[in-house]
A and B are shown apart, each in its own frame.
Chain A
Amino acid sequence: KEKHKILHRLLQNSTSPVDL
């Protein structure tokens, strides 16, 4: 997980559709 911290963080962020 440490190696993939950006993906991990983005997935943990709120599921708000603002990302879209």
Chain B
Amino acid sequence: LHPPPLSPVTKIVSHLLVVEPEKIYAMPDPTMPDGDIKALTTLCDLADRELVVIIGWAKHIPGFSSLSLADQMSLLQSAWMEILVLSIVFRSLACEEELVYAEDYVVDEEHARLSGLLDLHVAILPLVRRYKKLSVEKEEFVTLKAIALANSDSMHIEDVEAVQRLQDSLHEALQDLEGGHNTEDPRRTGKLLMTLPLLRQTAAKAVQHFYSIKVQGKVPMHKLFLEMLEAK
């Protein structure tokens, strides 16, 4: 007798919306000359600070902190770049062919070309186009981000069933979200989940990109970023 509310957001999704990290700033060093080294130093520093935030965020995903410390580490070591990339992609949805690495670091193709970021730019844009086409909403984005973490296919999981339970609860949250407010497309949950292979491909390219920069040794990298890069 009571019609369901128009946009019922599940308890998990509303929690994920609350714990969504604040905006982050790249703050490029004004004393450095413009060019590849400056751009990459800015991005590596940004990524290092974002990693600290991502680790804090992960602990707030319902069920994540109940996993063993080793399994928490394994999931983050597998999925951190997917989470970073997904965040950039979501920030970039309102832009035309630009990537919003941070509020104060928006890169278009020309800037990317001039600062050695073109490979990364070209790798991430197809994912932005894919999510634009789907008109992905914030509720869906925060849930997908948590799913990317839980579904990271780490080879080193100790308690596979516990990780499966985490995946199931997040999957259910996404299904409830779609069942609630998107009845015109019964396949939307599937469509959103089907974006995850491209996210993984894109993140793998980004890891490769930063790993070769690390090997070249020209760009300073903070310890956490290096540690996560080496874990891949």
**Complex: chain B residue closest to A14, CB-CB:** B59
In the complex, per-residue mask of A1-14: 1 if CB is within 8 Å of any chain B CB, else 0: 10111111011100
- Of B53, B56, B228, B230, the most chain A CB neighbours within 10 A belong to B56
Q: Is B69 in contact with A20, judged by CB distance below 8 angstroms?
A: no
Q: Is B76 in contact with A7, judged by CB distance below 8 angstroms?
A: yes
Determine which of B22, B52, B65, B227 lies in contact with A3 in the assembled complex, contact meaning CB atoms within 8 Å: B227
Q: Is B224 in contact with A6, judged by CB distance below 8 angstroms?
A: yes
Q: Is B56 in contact with A3, judged by CB distance below 8 angstroms?
A: no
A-B contact pairs, 22 of them (CB 8 A): A1-B73, A3-B227, A3-B230, A4-B73, A4-B77, A4-B227, A7-B73, A7-B227, A7-B231, A10-B52, A10-B55, A10-B56, A11-B69, A11-B72, A11-B76, A15-B60, A15-B65, A17-B60, A18-B56, A20-B19, A20-B53, A20-B56
- Chain A interface residue count, Cβ-Cβ cutoff 8 angstroms: 15
The answer for the CA separation of A19 and B21 in the assembled complex, in Å, is 9
Q: Is B73 in contact with A17, judged by CB distance below 8 angstroms?
A: no
**Complex: chain B residue closest to A10, CB-CB:** B55
In the complex, per-residue mask of B2-32: 1 if CB is within 8 Å of any chain A CB, else 0: 0000000000000000010110000000000
SS class of chain B's interface: helix, strand, loop or mixed? helix
Q: Is A20 in contact with B227, judged by CB distance below 8 angstroms?
A: no
Q: Is A7 in contact with B56, judged by CB distance below 8 angstroms?
A: no
A17-B19 contact in complex given A8-B69, A11-B73, C-beta closer than 8 Å: yes
Cβ of B65: which chain A residues have Cβ within 8 Å of it? 15
CB of B138 to closest CB in A, whole Å: 16
Cβ of A15: which chain B residues have Cβ within 8 Å of it? 59-60, 65
CB of A7 to closest CB in B, whole Å: 6
Cβ of A11: which chain B residues have Cβ within 8 Å of it? 55, 59, 69, 72-73, 76
**Complex: chain B residue closest to A11, CB-CB:** B72
Determine which of A1, A7, A17, A18 lies in contact with B55 in the assembled complex, contact meaning CB atoms within 8 Å: A7
**Complex: chain A residue closest to B224, CB-CB:** A6
**Complex: chain A residue closest to B56, CB-CB:** A19
Within 8 A of A (CB), among B183-232: 223-224, 227-228, 230-231
Cβ of A8: which chain B residues have Cβ within 8 Å of it? 69, 73
Among all A-B residue pairs, the 4 with the closest Cβ atoms: A19-B56, A10-B55, A6-B224, A15-B59
